[in-house]
Structures are given as structure tokens and as C-alpha cells.
Structure 1
Amino acid sequence: MASRFSYFQLHRRLYTTTTDQWSIKQVRNSNFHGCLGDLKNHISDSDFIALSLQRTGSSSFPWHRPQPFDTLDTAYCKAKYAAEKFQILQFSLCPFSVRDSKLIAHPYNFHLFPRDELNIGMPSYSFSCQVSHLTSIAREGFDFGAWVYDGISYLSRAQESIAKAQMGCQTLTPNTDAVKSSSEPSVFDTIFVQRVKSRVKNWKDAYDSSSKTNDALLSTLKKLIVGIEQYGSRPSIVIDVYSERQALLALELLKEFSDDVVPVVISAKSGGTQAIRAILTSSKEDKILLEKELQNLEDEENKKFRGFREVIEMISASQKPIVSYSSLHDFTFIHSKFLAPLPTSIDEFASSLHLVFPRVLEVKHLMSKIGGLSKPMSIAAALSYLKKHYYAPTYLDIPIEAPGNDHKPQGHNAIRLCHLFAKVCSLLKIDLSGVQSNNNECLASMLEKCSNVSSSFSPYHHEPKDEDVKIWARDVRKASCRHLVFLWGFREGMTAPLLKASLEGSHEVFCEEFYVRFVDKKCAIIVFSQPGLSETFLDAINSDCIVGSLREMVSEGLRATGYETYKRMCRFDLWEADLAESLERAIFEADPETAQLDINYSNDTVISLDDL
């Protein structure tokens, strides 16, 4: 028995590693562009990409955090509110692969700061910070000075389009294959196309004839008459357009001259397209050379605008599965900062995100399939639990490759997440090493075993109308949203047992089993065990016919509402400090007149002017 124990301990020591001893590539603005090449290679060579975000805050008040009783819709509203209010401080990224029991990882930690480098008011004028978050990273030795002065800035896709339009930038290599007329051409379209076609033909003919003549003056006059300009050393012509439709028609027309003409779109400062520049090349080789030059110019232009978003585009282009611990929080921030403003609904968000990141694997979902890991816990706590209760050998291989790597605790969560993912998959008998062969069937099988890992972000996800939710984080029991009632306006100093005792016997609905849970100090949830009781209670509390102790509680200010009001409150972004205040606002804004009348709960609390 002793020898077996020693053998087990030896294997545990060999195959588990403390993540804090490994170095992380710390990336700031000063070394950002220099590390992109290595990162691209690491992403290409890896099978998965783990990511973890450090934010300037997560919630202003406790009830703003997603709660067990939140539906997918209300949880999204809360995540959306946080993503729009706070910023990403550090973006930890770790491309990794698993070979048998060996985890090969390449961790990076990017320091981000939304600096307005182009003087266009983007990406952000201001953002919020939460004291507890800043205090936590300060204890880890975070350099706030370097963050402000050497943090990497960025623009989202939507902001980049706006910025390029404001600065009148050119779209150097338009995708003319995607240009199609949306409807039948009108008479004006036909006239415009014929005029442009005639002008382009005359331009080409004039250039050909002028290049053959020996008379320099005559050649110059021909170029002036036709309107030939120079783009570098090559002749070009500018076609003015007055609508996006004319721009599409001009690009479609230039396909007829695609053997030696390259089109370039010139953006208007007010937005849209100002003109189309056509550039004439001398040969097939010259055209290839020009297109390469334009692509290089576009890449340099994109780097200037995108900043850190280059990394996001790199991840998206790789189409590698992304491993996240809390995908809703992570990807609402990513969508808000790097793609576009967040949509109002979870379904729109899921569809938009799926186009950019089609494979998102949430480790929390996998953990729920293992006994003891279904309760909420941090990544570090989950790793510690697995180490104590399960034998899942995983050896970390993190090469120290370049200067700039250090042993500070910043950015270690991405490595821990890789480690946790590999261990959980090992326990669930999911073979990650098969992904390396690019075997689509193997990958599909693995993702099938991880069913519902990314169901929250599936564009085909449809939430049931009567969704069941949990009430307590550490209790697996669920209740229908229709059985929940929010209660506030009770006496100060109340606790859940005291409030439950006060309600028992106050009305017939409380003769059946019910539960009470406090959300914050001023608001509680009542969970009825039988259908229809919540509606009966809400009708009673808003009626003049109530009697007994419930009437007394109502006269003292007791208020109640159903789950639909809570949904509406989240959807309308009514985020007050107290949940009770937000619910009051939601009731008032839904029906101001009724809400104003409902303040007087019974005739005893109404002051008659005749009595004065």
C-alpha cells in the first residue's frame, strides 16, 4: 500500500506543475508589432486558443452581477451593461495543443489602454474603474504608469470604418467579386455606365496613342484633355460618384478592363464613397506588382487603425476553437471593444459573434459534468479541487523563448485555463490529441461530446418561454420564472427567516410551501412551489380587499412584482444602486399613471381633502 501511494505521489509530482513558475510574454505598445509574427506562428501551430480578460471592473453593485435566478436574456443585459461601462485592462492569450499528457502552451499577456492616438475621439473618451479590481492588480505589482503610457490602443471594426471615412482614406483593394447591383438598372444608371465606359476607353486610347508619339507637347495636351493623372509612376483616372449605387456600378464596369486596370475606392470624409480611382498597368507582371504594393499599403494602414485588434483578427482568421472560462462576460467585452456596439438581444449577439468566432468552448460547462465541480469557483480553485480529488496527469511545456518574458503573476489565468481544460477533458475521456491530424470527424466528435458548451452563443438557440432558473448558487433545484415574486418595502433589519415568518399566515397562498431569498438588503425573492400562487399573491397585494397582517405590511410600504418586470428592467437598462429602486422605475415607466396610483395601496392610506 505504501509503495502504491509513493508511486501515485511521484506521478502527481511529474505530471502537475505550478503555473506561477512559468514565464509569460508581457506585451505592451513598445514591443507589440515585434511579437505579432511569433504569435501568428504559435496560433497556426496550435489546436486551441485559451483567453482570459482582466477588466477595470465588473459590476457597480452586487445585484448587477449575474445571479442564479437570471435567464439568458437578463444575464446578457447585465454582461452588456458591464462591457459598455468598463474596459479591458489585460488580455491574456495562450495558443496551446495537447499531445498525450503533454500540454504545449505559448502564453502572452497584452496590456491595453484605449488611447486616442489618431485624435478622432476613439476608442473611448472615458471608462469606469472599480476600486476592488484596481487594488487586486496593484497587489500583483501591476505598473499603472506603463499601462497608461505604453498600453496598446485599438479601434473596433465599426470604429475603424468611421475613422477611415473621417480621414478620407482609400480602400486600396476592394472586393469587386462581392459587388452586385441590387436591382434592375434605371435609365439614369444606364446613362451613367455608358458615360463612364466611354471615358475609360478614351482614357486608355489616349494613353496608348500619347505613349507612341514623339511630340511631348501633343502627348501632354492629350493627357490634359482626357484627364489622365499619375498614381506614382502609373497613369490613373478618377471617376467621381454621387451615391453608393454609382460606386457599385463603376466597380462592376471596371471588371471589363480587369486585364490591366486596378480599381481603388476613395472614401468621403462625411462617409460613403467619394470617387473610384482606376490605375493602368503596363503588363500582367506590373499588375501583380501593383496589387502587392496596394496590399502592403493597406496592411500598414490597417495596423495604424487597428492596434490590438490585429490580434483579434488573427484569432478569427485561424478559426481555431477558443477556450473560455466565462464566455458570456469575455465575449460581450470582446464584441463591444473590437467588433461593434453590442446588439440589444442575446440572439442578435449570438449571430454576430458566431460569424467571427464559430467555436467557443466554455470550461464551466464541461466542469458541471464532473462531481464536485458544478458549484461556482475560480479557475485556481477548480485546479486545486481536481488535484486533491482526481488523478488526471498533465505535464505543462511552456518554452522560454525571448526577452520580455517574466515571472510576474499577471496573465497566468490563461495558462491555468489551458491546464484546467486539459485535465477536465482527460477526466471526461475527450481525446484532444486527435485534433492535430486535422481530422474533421475527430474534431466534430470531440465538439459533440462538449455538447451545449457554446449553446448560449448558438445562433439557433431559442430560449423557452417558461424558463426554469436556479435560486441559490449551490443548490441544483430550479423553479419556473412564473413562480417568482420580487418583494421590497419591508422593515429594515429583516432576514430571510424573519421575512418568511412574517409572511406565513398573512395570506392563503403562504399555506403552501414557499422559499425566501434576499437579493440585497432591500429586496427579496419569494419562490412559490405551486403554479398560480404567484399571480394570486400579486393580485391580492394590489387589491383594496386585503386583510390581516398582509394589509398592515402593505400599509407600511410593502411592494411586489413578477419576473416580467425584472426582465423589462434589465432590458431598459435601469441599473440603480438598489434592486428595489430599479423595479420601481420599471413599473413607473411601463405605466406612469397606474404606477402613480399604486403608491396608495389601500383606502386607509389615502388622505381625503374633505377631512382637512
Structure 2
Amino acid sequence: MQKRLLCTQTSTHIENTIKNSNLTKKWRIKQVKKSNFNQNLEEIKSRISNSDFIAISLQKTGSYSSPWQKVLPFDTPEIAYLKSKRSAEKFQLLQLAVCPFTLRASKLTAYPYNFHLFPRDELKIGMPSYSFACQTSYLTSMARLGFDFNSCIYDGISYISRAQESSMKHLTGTGNLAVRARSVKSSSTISVADSVFIERIKSRVKTWRTACKDSKGSNEDALVRALRKVVLGEHGSRPCLDVDVCSERQVQLILEVLKEFSDDTVPLLIPTKRGGTQGVRAVMTSSKEDKILFEKELQDLEEEQSKNVRGFREVIDLISASQKPVVAHNTLDDFTFLHSKFLSPLPPRIDEFKCSLSSYFPYVIDMGHLMKHFNPSGKMNNIHAASSFLRSRFFAPVEIDIPLKGTPEEMSEGKIHGQNVLQISQIFAKLYSIMKPGQHHISEGKDLALDNYANIFDPCSSVSLENSDDDVRISSGNTRRLSCNDMVFLWGFRSGLSVGELKSLLSRSHEAFSSEFDVRVVDKSCVVVAFQQPELAGDFVKAMGSGGTCHEGLTELTSLGLRAANYETYKCACNLSRWDSDLADSLDQVVTSADQFSADSHGKSPYEIWWDDDTVLNLDDF
């Protein structure tokens, strides 16, 4: 299989013409809200089942609160995960677009759905939480594009995670109504008190059953029948008996008694508002057929109420059950949100996160890593940049077919209503048509199969390097391997100082700066210095720790308030959740903290990064 590079201006013109024609024809995406969620669920299930891939795209209330809290190119995978974890726990999802699609040659058949979400405590028990943070720039951007916040709040689909549902299963099963009692094992030891309780319950049940059967053949007037129903009790149209309990042990004993009458009696549990069991209800059916019918009614009721509680998570469960490859633009960011909102609380470490996620989504493809094969030195920060790059380098026309139908309100053509998920699907289709997995190889004998790009959650790694969790890849032209031990964070410098001025001051302060070094901005309060030669960073930090007494230039800087810390201090700030708005404040806290990292952490760091001139922002451009 040969790569189809654009070699002529004619090919470029053809691709641009196709692109422009696609822009003039707006994509129609089905908008799904609380009011039409249930009626679309079966259709969505069918689309997911019949798809080849599933693309997703998220719209959130924010991502990070200050520049240094976003994932930076020199972050190790563990630090990148901690930052994404904080974002997922702090902010909220308002839209989640899902696009099951199939690829047949150059034809992309897509079924895009954009789900409007809003966390709501449907059962009034405090789950999920009502509170979340909002980043004003995100909301402002959404408002400018016409996002309807009223519709989101009042008609957004609620949801609950698997962990939340499991922890409150006694409550959510039927909305505080009686639920089916599960089978219990017979107790091996029966005390005297248990025996007395069993005989009392057995006598009460027999008396109740006799009264129920006697009333069936009697010819009573309406008032007597009504009074009898009040006395005997009724569950729907069937007679019932409620027995209050004081402990789970009593529940077990009552269920064992009711086994004797299991031919026509069905036991139910009556939950309390705060969990646990308030009592046991015995419901008498008229025959074996009626018992089967009643148990089916209970099962259907439980499934319907469970579905209402799960809400949008029904879609997440469908995607998980399908085991189809899931395509996203930034898998670490997107799937920390998905895990936090729909599965369970995020674990503390990235390896635990990967293990947990793989049990639900075993095959996740990151578009950013896939693009790095075609442009390893470029920056694919967004899907628009990726699309532009492909148009300029490859001729891979993709015909898009969207067979979905719906009402005008459902099939919105607005800019923000899930358009990104179709662009992700289209770019993936282009890449897939160029690659043709398994049919050709790139240089050095590496296969282009999609397996090489699956389940990579390091946002800065590259498949063209050693695929290790200890590597960080920074995309740019001229790169060099750099140990994290060769990096130093500086803060406390004069406000308004340019990078050139700071480099000039540093070069006169210590012999470590006699060799080549780079200075880059992390945020307005802090810069990072990268030394090309090993050991120089450690020498400089030690000199700073001694107050620079042996270096006149360094003494001057320290007297002005300049402070320094190694990479381990930065890692510790993230591990200890020191998320101040300025990185300098976070580093200060770690340096002066009593629970600072142990001495062992000052050893050689196993992490390496790939450093280049575009690693972080230039102070002059900040």
C-alpha cells in the first residue's frame, strides 16, 4: 500500500474544494435531552451494536484554574494524570457527543448524537453532589456560540455512576418501595430467642393466610370488603402481610419461615429512607401462574426504575458492553472525566486508573498519538490543526453519510451541538484510509496497525519513541533527551523581567550557567531552567540552598528573593495537591512543609523528557 501524498497543486485544489463544499453543507446531529432520551435509547443501542468504531467528544464547565495546572510538555505521566484527575473531580460535563460509525472504503456512515447532561439528585438523597466548579472562559465561549443553559438545567439528562448506584442499591431499586427479597442461606445455629420468634411469625402467617382464603368465598358487602382489605393489607390487587423488623437477623428468619409457603407467596423487603430494611412484606398470589406473572411485574418495575436512576449512564454501559474501539482526541482528559462521572472515583495513581478503565473500555484510540505518526515534529493541539495538516499533505477524500432522522428541534445544525465528534470521526476515517492497517509498514519495520496507538494515556508520549511510562515526548523540530534531574524551577524574580534579562542575570551568577541552558515560562510567577549537561542542576540548587555565599552574583539574586527547587519539589507539589493559582506559592509550601517528601526522593529520577525550544511559553509573550 502506498501513501497518497499530494504532489501537485491540482490535488491540493481538489482537496480544498471538497473541504469547502463540506463546510457549506452543515452536519445534522441529533440532540438528545431528558424529554426524548428514552424514545431514542433503543435506536442508540442498535447503532452502537452495528458500528465499527465509536467517537466521543466532551463539553465541560472548565479544565484548569491557572496556566501551570494544565498538562505541560515536561510533565511525567503520573503528574499529567494528577492534573487531569483534579480537573475531572472539580469540573462538570454539560454535553457528551457520541458517534457510532462504520467505514466502508472511503465512505463514512455516521450516527452522531449529542447528549445534554446535568447532574440531578433524582432520588433526593444527596447523590450525586450538586456542586461543581465553572471556568468563566468556558461558559463565555459556550454562550457566544448559542448554548442554551436553561435547556441544559431543566431538560438535561441526569446520571449516576456505577459506584454510587452500588452504594445505594437498597434505595435506588424501587424508589423506597418494596423490593424483591433475594434467596438466603439457612442459618446453621438457631438460638432459643430465634425459635420463639420463628414460631410467632409462623403462627401469624398461617392466621393471615387462613383469613385471606376465607374471604375469597364469602359474600360480603362493599364496606366489609373494604375493612377487610385495610386489616389484612393489600399490595396492588393481591393481599399482603407486613412484618416490622428490628435487625437483619430477623429479616433472615422471616424469609426462612416464608419458604414454607413459597408455592403462592412472594416475600418483599421494605427499605428505610436511610438504607437497611424496615420490614418484610409477604404477598399472596392466586395461583402458580399468578405468582410467575407477579414476579415478572416486579422484575420489569425494578429494571425500569434502575434505568431511570442510571440515566445517561445507560449509554456509557452500552458502549462498554459493545467492546468497540473508542476514538477520542485527548484520551487522558476525556476518560478521567468519564471514569469519575460514570464509573467510580478516580484512583490515586495512573497505573491503577489504566487497569480500572481497561475493564470497561479495553480499546481506546487517541487521535493525538495517531497524528504523531504522520507529523512527529508538529503540534496537533486541536482537531482543526489536524484537519488542516491532512488536507495539505494527503489526498484522502472521505464521503460522509448521516442517515439519522428526527424533528427539527432534535436535528440541530448549531456550531456547538456536537460538531467536534463528527470532525474526529472524519479525521480518523482519513487516517485509516491512508494507513490501511496491516497492509504496509513504516520505516524501521514498525507496523501501522491501530494496536500501536491504542490505550496510550500519556498526552506527551510518542509511539516513535520507546513506549514507556517513564518517557515524556514534547513535539517539536529539534529535540534532545533530558533527565528531569537536569531541570530547576525558579521563582521570586522581579515582576516584568524578560527571559533575556533573566538569562543574563543567571549567566553571571553561577558557573553552572557557563554551559548552554534554556529558560522557559511555566506561569507568571515561575520559570523552568533546563541544563544540557548533567549534574549542573544539582550543583546550582545546592548553591541556592546555601544562600549563594560563595558566589557574588548568586548572593545578589537570593537577596532579592530568588528561590530554586528541583523537579522532585514540583512532583511533590502535585502529589500533595498544592494547587495554588501561582506555582511559586505551591513550591513555597512544599519547601517549607513539615510533611515534605522523604530524603529518598532526592535520588536520581527515572523520568526523562524530550526538550525543545517550544516546550513552554516565552516570558516575553506571556
Q: If the TM-score is normalised by the length of the shorter chain, which range does it land in?
A: 0.7 to 0.9
- 2:282 and 2:64 map into 1 onto residues whose CA distance is 52
Asked whether the 8 Å contact 1:469–1:479 carries over to 2, the reply is no
Amino acid at match of 2:429: A
**CA distance in 2 between partners of 1:173 and 1:464 (Å):** 51
Aligned length: 561
Counterpart in the other structure of 2:543? 540
Distance in structure 2 (CA, Å) of the matches to 1:216 and 1:50? 64
Deviation at 1:490, TM superposition (A): 1.8
Cα pair distance change 1:479/1:265, threshold 3 Å = farther
Q: Sort the Cα spacing of 1:243 and 1:452 in 2 relative to 1 into closer, same or farther, 3 A.
A: farther
Contact 1:469/1:481, CA 8 A, preserved across alignment:
no
Distance 1:307 1:355, change over 3 A: same
> Partner of 1:387 in structure 2?
391
* 3-state DSSP of counterpart to 1:58: coil
AA at the equivalent of 2:523: D
What's the offset of the Cα at 1:402? 1.4
- Alignment of 1:493 onto 2:496: yes
Q: Measure the CA separation in 2 of the matches of 1:537 and 1:203.
A: 85
Counterpart of 2:91 in structure 1 is: 86
Which of 305, 308, 311 aligns to 1:307? It is: 311
User: Distance in 2 between the 1:532 and 1:239 partners?
Assistant: 76
> Residue in 2 aligned with 1:530?
533
Gaps of at least 5 residues in structure 1 are 433-445, 458-462, 595-612
Structure 2 vs 1, CA of residues 311 and 13 (structure 1 numbering), >3 Å: closer, same or farther? Answer: same
Given the alignment, which residue of 366, 369, 376 partners 1:365? 369
Equivalence for 1:456: 457
Q: Give me the whole-angstrom Cα distance separating, in 1, the residues matched to 2:350 and 2:556.
A: 42
Deviation larger for 64-73 or 31-40: 31-40
SS of structure 1 residue aligned to 2:99: strand
Deviation track 1:76-96 (CA, whole Å, cap 9, x = no partner) reads 221122222222121111111
Distance 1:398 1:359 in 2: 25
Which structure carries more helix by proportion? 1
SS in 1 for 2:533: coil
- Aligned residue number for residue 550 of structure 1: 554
Residue of structure 1 in register with 2:31 after alignment: 26
Q: 1:392 to 1:470 in 2, by over 3 A?
A: same
Aligned to 1:67: 72
Q: What CA distance in whole angstroms lies between the structure 2 residues aligned with 1:275 and 1:292? A: 22
CA deviation after TM superposition for structure 1 residue 420, in Å? 1.2
Residue by residue over 1:207-227, the C-alpha shift from the partner in whole angstroms, topping out at 9 and shown as x without a partner, is: 88777779979xx9xxx9xx9
Q: What displacement does 1:411 show?
A: 0.8
1:25 CA drift (Å): 0.7
RMSD: 4.2
Residues 336, 466 of structure 1: alpha-carbon distance in 2 compared, 3 angstrom cutoff: closer
Q: Give the secondary-structure state (helix, strand or coil) at the position aligned to 2:374.
A: coil
Partner of residue 427, structure 2 = 420
Q: SS in structure 2 opposite 1:77?
A: helix
1:23 Cα deviation (Å)? 0.6
Give the deviation of 1:104 after TM superposition: 0.9
Match of 2:4 in 1: none
| Deviation at residue 63 of structure 1 after TM alignment | 1.3
1:152 is aligned to 2:157? yes
Do the aligned partners of 1:482 and 1:562 also contact (CA within 8 Å) in 2?
A: yes
- Inter-partner Cα distance in structure 2 for 1:507 and 1:265: 76
Report the residue type matching 1:169 in the other structure: N
CA 1:496–1:259 in 2, change beyond 3 Å: closer, same or farther? farther
Aligned to 1:441: none
SS at match of 1:368: helix
| 1:205-220 equivalent positions in 2, closer than 5 A | none
Kindly report which structure 2 residues correspond to 1:458-607, keeping only aligned pairs within 5 A, or say none. 467-470=470-473, 476-544=479-547, 545-591=549-595
- List per-residue Cα deviations over 1:485-521 (Å, max 9, x = no partner): 2111122233333323322253233334332211112
TM-score (norm 1): 0.78
1:406 aligned residue (395, 406, 412): 412
The residue that corresponds to 1:443 in the other structure is none
SS at match of 1:430: coil
Question: What pairs with 1:234-253 in structure 2 (closer than 5 Å)?
Answer: 234=238
Going from structure 1 to structure 2, the CA distance change for 1:132 and 1:279 (only over 3 Å counts) comes to same
Percent identity for Structure 1 against Structure 2: 48
Q: List per-residue Cα deviations over 1:331-350 (Å, max 9, x = no partner).
A: 22222222333333223333
**Residues 340 and 346 of structure 2 are in contact (CA less than 8 Å); yes or no, is this contact kept in structure 1?**
yes
Q: Which secondary structure state, in structure 2, belongs to the residue aligned with residue 73 of structure 1?
A: helix
Query: Which residue does the alignment assign to 1:603?
Result: none
Gaps of 5+ in 2: 1-7, 219-223, 440-446, 459-465, 599-622
Residues 212 and 239 in structure 2, CA contact (< 8 A), matched pair in contact too = no
SS at match of 1:515: strand
C-alpha distance 591-157 of structure 1, shift in aligned 2 (>3 A): closer
Preserved contact between residue 378 and residue 476 of structure 2 (Cα < 8 Å) = no
Residues in 2 aligned to 1:370 and 1:586: alpha-carbon distance in whole angstroms: 41
- Equivalent residues of 2:162, 2:344 under 8 A apart: yes
Distance in 1, matches of 2:388 and 2:275, equals 54
SS of residue paired to 1:38 = helix
- In 2, Cα distance between equivalents of 1:476 and 1:285: 76
**Inter-partner Cα distance in structure 2 for 1:15 and 1:252:** 71
Instruction: Letter of the 2:433 partner, please give it.
Output: S
The one-letter code matched in structure 2 to 1:428 is M
Aligned-residue offset at 1:542: 0.6
Aligned in 2, Cα 1:125/1:449: closer, same or farther, shift over 3 Å? closer
Aligned pairs for 1:61-210 (under 5 A) are 61-160=66-165, 169=176, 172=179, 187=189
Distance change (3 Å), C-alpha of 1:213 and 1:472: closer
1:275 deviation in Å?
A: 5.0
